[in-house]
Amino acid sequence: MKKLIAIILVALVGFTVQAQEKKNKSAKADVSVNGNCEMCKKRIEKAAYSVAGVKSAVWHSDDQMLHLVYNQQKCSSTDVEKAIAKAGHDTKNVKATEGDYNNLHGCCQYDRK
């Protein structure tokens, strides 16, 4: 009888642990974003965080890269790039409109390619 109870308990614990596993929904991406200064950094990161599902966004001016961590069930890196372009900064895949670019502060207007 004790063996039967022990087996049932082990089986229940196994099912409970398996049911509580979380699937990894996070994705990481590095996105090239044009910018110059600390004001650009704040604007780019704020635009990235405005997209639902973004967990982390850090832009580095030295390599012009935005390091993203996001929930891929809620958004994509393209959604983030579109938000950044709307803020006036070009990315590798999405370019800001001329109007959005012209709204940037003078020191933030980078050389467009």
- What is the pLDDT at residue 5? 75
pLDDT of residue 18 exceeding 90? no
Judge whether 68 lies within some domain: yes
107 versus 21: the higher-pLDDT residue is 107
Q: Which domain holds residue 65?
A: 24-108
19-32 residue pLDDT tens: 554 556 899 999 99
Judge whether 53 lies within some domain: yes
Q: Are 44 and 84 in contact (CB under 8 A)?
A: yes
41-69 residue pLDDT tens: 999 999 999 999 999 999 999 999 999 99
Judge whether 13 lies within some domain: no
Residue 94, domain CATH: 3.30.70.100
Judge whether 100 lies within some domain: yes
How many domains does the chain contain in total?
1
Q: Are 54 and 32 in contact (CB under 8 A)?
A: no
Sorted by sequence, the CB contacts under 8 Å of residue 73 that are 6+ apart come out as 25, 53
Q: Are 90 and 34 in contact (CB under 8 A)?
A: yes
Judge whether 93 lies within some domain: yes
Strands 65-71 and 54-60 turn out to be antiparallel
| Cα end-to-end span (Å), the chain | 77
Sorted by sequence, the CB contacts under 8 Å of residue 15 that are 6+ apart come out as none
